[in-house]
Amino acid sequence: MSTVALPSARRIAWRRRRRSAAAAWRQYRGNRAGMVGLVVLVLFGLLALAAPLLADHAGLAAVNSTENPVWASPSEFHPLGTDHLGRSVWTQFVWGSRISLLIGLTATVLAMVIGTLVGVVSGFFGGRTGGVLMRITEWFLVIPFLPLAIALAAVLGPSVQNIILVIGITSWPATARVIRAQVLTVKERLYVDRSRALGASSGHLMGRHIMPNIAPLILANTTLTVPIAILSETTLSFLGLGDPTRPSWGKMLEEAFAAGALSEHAWWYYVPPGLGVMLVVLAFVLCGHALEEILDPRLREQRS
């Protein structure tokens, strides 16, 4: 009699996860808006990654642009024209996409990590700890984002790390609140009670039961927080609080405005960066909505 080797519990769990991921992907593919968003994101991602191939990094330095005419409109030499110092706008656009996307993604990760931690702990534990954490979250929510970001940027000084810090610090409360609400819901579910009755530790409960249930929500929330982070970075850079040594789309808008691109009719300097931001943000929003619909079928009914 041969014994059939049964796959381990873990194997089964992973197989199940892979299958549901494939199903989710199929569902996602059916969502037209989501696909459009995904394509746009991939395109911009490629643009950012392929920056060295698309534009010479040295073109960012004003000293290397002294031969170029200033405020030149788009031509075969400079696909997006030049700015007030003669630098190629296309070069700034391509390399700036890296910083804008990097800051957007990193700041979001920071916000999500802090927000999730605070949200899960305060939702799960309740009582004094939960109350205190909730109070802190509410305090942060009440202070208006832009003034707080300005104050922090003024104090910390403008650099890429500090901007990531500033956006992360000002964005986590919104996430924490949403996560906390979800954790409270999940906490009430039966299997959690049963697990606790069986003597499971808090860590086990949080790690094995709560987290997997809220993971999809975290993913969807992340996709919707990135656009906010990117818009924040654009605004902060526009106000002059971004890193002055690195190009970014917000910095291009700031320099365009300060150098008088509007009166020079130099649309090639200020239209592309804003367009880039808009498309990337839109793409993330569409993807985020598509993900939400997969997670919560009710939403699909609603939105369509």
Q: Is 198 in the site for another protein (CB under 8 A)?
A: no
CA-to-CA distance for 193 and 205, rounded, in angstroms? 10
* Among 253, 287, 291, 294, interactor with another protein by CB under 8 A: 253
Q: What is the nearest approach in angstroms of another protein to the Cβ of residue 137?
A: 12
Name every residue whose Cβ is closer than 8 Å to that of residue 178 and which is 6 or more positions away in sequence.
Answer: 119, 217, 221
DSSP letter string, 67-133? TSPTTPPP-SSSTT-B-TTS-BHHHHHHHHHHHHHHHHHHHHHHHHHHHHHHHHHHHHH-HHHHHHH
* Among 99, 214, 277, 290, interactor with another protein by CB under 8 A: 277
Is the Cβ–Cβ distance between 158 and 243 less than 8 Å? yes
Q: Is 304 in the site for another protein (CB under 8 A)?
A: yes
Q: Is 155 in the site for another protein (CB under 8 A)?
A: yes
Give the distance, in angstroms, between the CA of residue 158 and the centroid of all CA atoms in the same chain: 20
Interface positions, 74-113, toward another protein (CB under 8 A): 84-86
Q: Where are the beta strands (DSSP E) in the chain?
A: none
CA-to-CA distance for 78 and 53, rounded, in angstroms? 15
Q: Is 267 in the site for another protein (CB under 8 A)?
A: yes
Give the HSE-up count for residue 48: Cα atoms under 13 Å, Cβ half-sphere. 20
Q: What is the nearest approach in angstroms of another protein to the Cβ of residue 181?
A: 13
Q: Whose Cβ is closer to another protein: residue 220's or residue 281's? A: 281
Stretch that binds another protein, among 20-28, 194-202, 217-225, 261-269 (CB under 8 A): 261-269
Angle subtended at Cα 177 by Cα 208 and Cα 298, rounded to the nearest 5 degrees: 75
* Among 15, 26, 262, 297, interactor with another protein by CB under 8 A: 262
Q: What is the nearest approach in angstroms of another protein to the Cβ of residue 171?
A: 15
Stretch that binds another protein, among 73-81, 118-126, 212-220, 239-247 (CB under 8 A): 239-247
Q: What is the nearest approach in angstroms of another protein to the Cβ of residue 121?
A: 21
Interface positions, 17-76, toward another protein (CB under 8 A): 61-64, 66, 70
Residue 207 tokens, joined = 């790690």
Q: Is 227 in the site for another protein (CB under 8 A)?
A: yes
Name residue, tokens 């130099």.
266
Classified as helix, coil or strand, 5 is coil
Q: Whose Cβ is closer to another protein: residue 116's or residue 272's? A: 272
Stretch that binds another protein, among 15-23, 114-122, 194-202, 229-237 (CB under 8 A): 229-237
Stretch that binds another protein, among 118-126, 167-175, 193-201, 278-286 (CB under 8 A): 278-286
Is the Cβ–Cβ distance between 159 and 244 less than 8 Å? no
Is the Cβ–Cβ distance between 130 and 202 less than 8 Å? no
CA-to-CA distance for 114 and 119, rounded, in angstroms? 8
Q: What is the nearest approach in angstroms of another protein to the Cβ of residue 90?
A: 18
DSSP-H helix ranges across 188-248: 190-197, 202-204, 211-238
Query: Using CB under 8 A as the criterion, which residues of the chain lie in contact with another protein when the complex forms?
Result: 61-64, 66, 70, 84-86, 138-139, 142-144, 146-148, 150-152, 154-155, 157-158, 227, 231, 234-235, 238-241, 244-245, 253, 256-260, 262-265, 267, 270-271, 273-274, 277-279, 281-282, 285-286, 301-304
